[in-house]
Amino acid sequence: MRKGNLNISYRIYANAGELEKSDADLMLAAENSLKNAYAVYSGFRVGAALLLENGDIVLGNNQENIAFPSSLCAERVALYYCKANYPDVKVVKIAITAKASSVKLIEPVSPCGACRQVMSEYERIQKSNIEMILKGEEGEVFIFDTVTELLPLAFETQAL
């Protein structure tokens, strides 16, 4: 038997005020997007903003349904809209933030496993990384250079 290790690498900023202007603007777009989330059941609003290689920004927010499995996360709302409307344009960055009705989120919010898998596939399809910028309502901001940092053993097509 051998033992393996997985390492995660990311940058930590004390708050959004330390970000480069373009990253801060993208995060602000995500924050504005979460205001339109339909989160009547959980009270947990998520906003996502994609920066495309052509400079356009695509927004998404979580959309809940009384039949919870029918709900969709903000990240996938934005990514699927992007693929449907900008099929040949690469996603450069995604900013993700959240706000809960029951508690103040002071730590960065990470995408769920399903969203990580979708982002991983988009990286593979476009043959380039998607930088991820994550934050809660306030506090630290994490920046990952690639989705692979959060999903190092992603399911890939070689398995099919």
Q: Which residue among 31, 64, 75, 149 is the active-site one?
A: 75
Give Cα separations from 10 to 19, 52, 133, 142, 150 (angstroms). 14, 21, 10, 6, 10
The verdict on whether 137 is a catalytic residue reads no
Least Cα distance to 29 among 17, 46, 13, 47 occurs for 47
**Distance of CA 15 to CAs 24, 111, 140, Å?**
10, 19, 5
* Residue 50 neighbours by CB under 8 Å, 6+ apart: 57, 58, 59, 60, 78, 79, 82, 91, 93, 94
> Residue 45 contacts by C-beta under 8 Å, 6 or more apart in sequence?
34, 35, 37, 39, 61, 62, 98, 99, 100
Please identify every residue annotated as catalytic: 75
